[in-house]
Amino acid sequence: QSVLTQPPSVSAAPGQKVTISCSGSSSNIGNNYVSWYQQLPGTAPKLLIYENNKRPSGIPDRFSGSKSGTSATLGITGLQTGDEADYYCGTWDSSLSAHVVFGGGTKLTVL
Amino acid sequence: QVQLQESGPGLVKPSETLSLTCAVSGYSISSGYYWGWIRQPPGKGLEWIGSIYHSGSTYYNPSLKSRVTISVDTSKNQFSLKLSSVTAADTAVYYCARADGYNLDAFDIWGQGTMVTVSS
């Protein structure tokens, strides 16, 4: 059971927009930045978003992030078949034993 | 460019210690950043194991802390993971990665990963 809750799967058609949610608590998302990762089949995860809404160099602006309270959202516009992947949220948990936590992952299917 | 490469045995016996090393090229560990280990059991999600700063300061996953040791060797520009008393539940792809010193959850560079199977 992951500390951060993500929907197991989402789907949308090419060209459409999709959002993936990530729900946590005050000890993690509520008081810390959120990052998002894309994991294509058979490859290592790739950082898409950090500090809630910042994109590393090379990440297209089709990918966006936001945070409100204890939840965060990843948005992907102009869906492409190449976006079909697993997506994970992550953050720092400031509880007694401070540590990094990840969501359980969301499988995006581009129909 | 910065590259990370994991190495170590692909098969470990139950109750033994899993040992992996991550060699860093293109960047000096001594210059900063946190360096971490993340694992992914087959068909499952990501699990953070722990991270270390070049000074040796560490953070560990509370659920693994009693079995984990992460160390850094700045002379060889590499860092290592030791996980003791392994069981089949420790079978996973193990990744090493670099994290921003201000955002320990933001791993911007990853190794390709190495599969470790725990079996007799």
Query: Per-residue pLDDT tens for B91-106?
Result: 999 999 999 878 889 9
**How many other C-beta atoms are found inside a 10 Å radius of the C-beta of residue B11?**
11
Contacts of A88 in chain B (CB under 8 A): 45-46
* CB-based contact A100 B100, cutoff 8 Å: no
Which of A2, A99, A103 comes nearest B62 by C-beta?
A99
Output the pLDDT for position A95: 86
d(CA B12, CA B114): 13
- A2, A34, A99, A107: best to mutate for the B interface, most B CBs within 10 A: A99
> In angstroms, what separates the C-alpha of B99 from chain A's closest C-alpha?
10
Residue A1 has pLDDT above 80, yes or no: no
What pLDDT digit, counting tens, does each position of A76-99 carry?
999 999 999 999 999 999 888 889
- B35, B105, B114: best to mutate for the A interface, most A CBs within 10 A: B105
Output the pLDDT for position A65: 98
Output the pLDDT for position A72: 98
* CB-based contact A47 B46, cutoff 8 Å: no
Q: What is the mean pLDDT of residues A31-48?
A: 97
> In angstroms, what separates the C-alpha of B120 from chain A's closest C-alpha?
26
Q: Which amino acid is at A76?
A: I
Q: What is the DSSP letter of A95?
A: S
- Name the one residue in this structure whose structure tokens are 């959202």: A73
Residue B63 has pLDDT above 80, yes or no: yes
Residue B60 has pLDDT above 80, yes or no: yes
- The residues with which A5 forms a beta bridge, in sequence order, are A23
Output the pLDDT for position B102: 82
d(CA A85, CA A76): 12
Region of residue B55 (left: phi > 0; alpha: psi -120 to 50; beta: else): alpha
CB proximity A105 to B under 8 Å: yes
- Chain B residue at shortest CA distance from A105: B45
> Which run of H or E residues covers position B118?
strand B114-118
CB proximity B88 to A under 8 Å: no
CB proximity B111 to A under 8 Å: yes
Closest CA to B67 of B39, B90, B44: B90
- Chain B residue at shortest CA distance from A3: B47
